[in-house]
A and B are shown apart, each in its own frame.
Chain A
Amino acid sequence: MSYEIIGITVLWLFLYGYLIVASVDFGAGFYAYYAKVTKKDHIINQLISRYLSPVWEVTNVFFVFFFVGIVGFFPDSAYYYGTALLVPGSIAIILLAIRGSFYAFENYGSKKSNVYMFLYGATGLLIPASLSIALTLSEGGFIKEESGTVSLDYFALFASPYSWSVVFLAIVSVLFISATFLTFYAARANDVKALKLVRKYALFWGTPTIIAALTTFIALGQHNQRHYQNMFDYWWMFGLSVGFFMIAMWLIYQGRRYGLAFISVMLQFFFAFFGYGVSHLPYILDPYITVYENATHESTGIALIIVFIAGLFLLIPSLILLLRLFLFDADYVKGKK
Chain B
Amino acid sequence: MMDLDPVLMSRLLTTITLVFHIIFATLGVGVPLMISIAEFIGIKKKDPHYIMLARRWARGFIIPVAIGVVTGTAIGLQLSLLWPEFMQLGGNVISLPLFMEVFAFFFEAIFLGIYMYTWDRFKNQMTHWWLSLPIVIGGGLSAFFITTVNAFMNTPEGFKIGKNGFAAINPLETMFNPATPTKVFHVLTSAYLTVAAILAAFAAFGLLRKKTREYHKKALKLTVTLTFIFAIFTAIAGDVSAKFLAEYQPEKLAAAEWHFETEKNADLILFGWLNEDNEPTGVIRFPSLLSFLAFSDFDAEVIGLEEFPEEERPPLWIHYMFDLMVIIGFFLLGVSFLYLILSKLKRWNENNKFMLWLLILSGPLAMLAIEFGWIYAEEGRQPWILRGYMTVEEAATTSPYVGWMFILFLLLYITLGVIGVVVLRKLFKNNPVEDELEKKYPSIEKGDNQ
- The residue of chain A having its C-beta at the shortest distance from the C-beta of B429 within the complex is A110
Stretch of B47-55, B353-361, B399-407 that contacts chain A: B399-407
Tell me, in angstroms, the Cα distance from A53 to B72 when the chains sit together. Answer: 20
Tell me, in angstroms, the Cα distance from A108 to B422 when the chains sit together. Answer: 12
The reply to whether A307 and B96 form a contact with Cβ atoms under 8 Å apart is yes
The reply to whether B76 and A64 form a contact with Cβ atoms under 8 Å apart is yes
Chain B stretch 44-91: residues in CB contact (< 8 A) with chain A: 59, 62-63, 65-67, 69-74, 76-85, 87-91
**Given the contacts A54-B114, A86-B402, A87-B405, A71 and B100 also touching, CB distance less than 8 Å:** no
B431 in contact (CB, < 8 A): yes
**Which 7 interchain pairs have the tightest Cβ spacing?**
A72-B95, A75-B91, A104-B66, A82-B84, A78-B87, A54-B113, A109-B423
Tell me, in angstroms, the Cα distance from A79 to B86 when the chains sit together. Answer: 8
- The residue of chain A having its C-beta at the shortest distance from the C-beta of B59 within the complex is A108
**Given the contacts A53-B117, A90-B405, A304 and B96 also touching, CB distance less than 8 Å:** yes
Using a CB–CB cutoff of 8 Å, the interface residues on chain B facing chain A are 59, 62-63, 65-67, 69-74, 76-85, 87-93, 95-96, 98-103, 105-107, 109-114, 116-118, 121, 134, 166-171, 397-399, 401-402, 404-405, 408-409, 412, 416, 419-420, 423, 426-427, 430-431
**Residues of A contacting B170 with CB < 8 Å?**
299
The reply to whether A109 and B426 form a contact with Cβ atoms under 8 Å apart is yes
Chain A stretch 44-87: residues in CB contact (< 8 A) with chain B: 53-55, 57-58, 60-61, 63-65, 67-69, 71-73, 75-76, 78-83, 85-87
- B-facing mask of A296-319, CB < 8 A → 1, else 0? 110110011001100100110011
Output the least CB separation between B20 and chain A (Å).
11
**Given the contacts A78-B87, A297-B92, A322 and B71 also touching, CB distance less than 8 Å:** no
The reply to whether B88 and A85 form a contact with Cβ atoms under 8 Å apart is no
- Most A CB contacts (10 A, CB to CB) among B63, B88, B170, B431 go to B88
Stretch of A94-102, A180-188, A260-268 that contacts chain B: A94-102
The reply to whether B105 and A75 form a contact with Cβ atoms under 8 Å apart is no
Output the least CB separation between B19 and chain A (Å).
15
The reply to whether A150 and B100 form a contact with Cβ atoms under 8 Å apart is no
Residue from the list A71, A92, A149, A322 in contact with B110, Cβ < 8 A: A322
The reply to whether B401 and A57 form a contact with Cβ atoms under 8 Å apart is no
The reply to whether A57 and B92 form a contact with Cβ atoms under 8 Å apart is no
Tell me, in angstroms, the Cα distance from A108 to B113 when the chains sit together. Answer: 13
Tell me, in angstroms, the Cα distance from A54 to B430 when the chains sit together. Answer: 23
The reply to whether A337 and B92 form a contact with Cβ atoms under 8 Å apart is no
Tell me, in angstroms, the Cα distance from A69 to B73 when the chains sit together. Answer: 14
Residue from the list A104, A297, A314 in contact with B167, Cβ < 8 A: A297
The reply to whether A61 and B102 form a contact with Cβ atoms under 8 Å apart is yes
**Residues of B contacting A97 with CB < 8 Å?**
70-71, 73-74, 412, 416
**Residues of A contacting B107 with CB < 8 Å?**
314-315, 318
- The residue of chain B having its C-beta at the shortest distance from the C-beta of A329 within the complex is B121
A93 in contact (CB, < 8 A): yes
- The residue of chain B having its C-beta at the shortest distance from the C-beta of A67 within the complex is B77
The reply to whether A101 and B420 form a contact with Cβ atoms under 8 Å apart is yes
The reply to whether A61 and B95 form a contact with Cβ atoms under 8 Å apart is no
Tell me, in angstroms, the Cα distance from A64 to B113 when the chains sit together. Answer: 18
The reply to whether B73 and A78 form a contact with Cβ atoms under 8 Å apart is no
**Residues of A contacting B402 with CB < 8 Å?**
86
- The residue of chain A having its C-beta at the shortest distance from the C-beta of B13 within the complex is A90
Output the least CB separation between A73 and chain B (Å).
8
Give the contact-size bracket for chain A: 35 or more
**Given the contacts A54-B113, A321-B114, A72 and B98 also touching, CB distance less than 8 Å:** yes
Tell me, in angstroms, the Cα distance from A110 to B432 when the chains sit together. Answer: 12
- Most A CB contacts (10 A, CB to CB) among B99, B109, B404 go to B99
The reply to whether B84 and A68 form a contact with Cβ atoms under 8 Å apart is no
Using a CB–CB cutoff of 8 Å, the interface residues on chain A facing chain B are 53-55, 57-58, 60-61, 63-65, 67-69, 71-73, 75-76, 78-83, 85-87, 89-94, 96-98, 100-101, 103-105, 108-111, 149-151, 296-297, 299-300, 303-304, 307-308, 311, 314-315, 318-319, 321-322, 325-326, 337
Residue from the list A72, A86, A337 in contact with B82, Cβ < 8 A: A86
The reply to whether A315 and B106 form a contact with Cβ atoms under 8 Å apart is yes
Tell me, in angstroms, the Cα distance from A297 to B427 when the chains sit together. Answer: 50
**Residues of A contacting B83 with CB < 8 Å?**
82
The reply to whether B111 and A318 form a contact with Cβ atoms under 8 Å apart is yes
Tell me, in angstroms, the Cα distance from A85 to B401 when the chains sit together. Answer: 11
The reply to whether B69 and A82 form a contact with Cβ atoms under 8 Å apart is no
The reply to whether B80 and A64 form a contact with Cβ atoms under 8 Å apart is no
Tell me, in angstroms, the Cα distance from A304 to B397 when the chains sit together. Answer: 26
- The residue of chain A having its C-beta at the shortest distance from the C-beta of B416 within the complex is A101
- The residue of chain B having its C-beta at the shortest distance from the C-beta of A311 within the complex is B103
The reply to whether B109 and A57 form a contact with Cβ atoms under 8 Å apart is yes
**Residues of B contacting A63 with CB < 8 Å?**
73
Tell me, in angstroms, the Cα distance from A5 to B93 when the chains sit together. Answer: 19
**Residues of B contacting A303 with CB < 8 Å?**
96, 171
**Given the contacts A71-B95, A322-B110, A57 and B65 also touching, CB distance less than 8 Å:** yes
| Cβ contacts A to B, 22 pairs, < 8 Å | A53-B113, A54-B116, A57-B65, A57-B112, A61-B106, A68-B76, A69-B99, A75-B95, A80-B84, A97-B416, A101-B419, A103-B66, A110-B423, A110-B426, A110-B431, A299-B171, A307-B103, A318-B110, A319-B110, A322-B113, A322-B114, A325-B114
The reply to whether B87 and A75 form a contact with Cβ atoms under 8 Å apart is yes
The reply to whether B109 and A58 form a contact with Cβ atoms under 8 Å apart is yes
Output the least CB separation between B172 and chain A (Å).
8
**Residues of B contacting A111 with CB < 8 Å?**
426
A82-B81, A100-B69, A150-B398 given. 8 additional CB < 8 A pairs?
A57-B112, A67-B80, A80-B84, A86-B81, A90-B81, A108-B63, A299-B168, A318-B107
The reply to whether A326 and B117 form a contact with Cβ atoms under 8 Å apart is yes
Tell me, in angstroms, the Cα distance from A117 to B50 when the chains sit together. Answer: 35
The reply to whether A64 and B73 form a contact with Cβ atoms under 8 Å apart is yes
- Most A CB contacts (10 A, CB to CB) among B87, B168, B408 go to B87
The reply to whether B80 and A81 form a contact with Cβ atoms under 8 Å apart is yes
Residue from the list A79, A90, A151, A337 in contact with B84, Cβ < 8 A: A79
- Most A CB contacts (10 A, CB to CB) among B85, B110, B416 go to B110
**Given the contacts A299-B169, A318-B110, A60 and B405 also touching, CB distance less than 8 Å:** no
**Given the contacts A79-B87, A110-B427, A325 and B118 also touching, CB distance less than 8 Å:** yes
The reply to whether A78 and B66 form a contact with Cβ atoms under 8 Å apart is no
The reply to whether A71 and B81 form a contact with Cβ atoms under 8 Å apart is no
**Residues of B contacting A100 with CB < 8 Å?**
66, 69-70, 73
Output the least CB separation between B139 and chain A (Å).
13
**Residues of B contacting A71 with CB < 8 Å?**
79-80, 87, 91, 95, 98
**Residues of B contacting A90 with CB < 8 Å?**
78, 81, 405, 408-409
Output the least CB separation between A44 and chain B (Å).
20
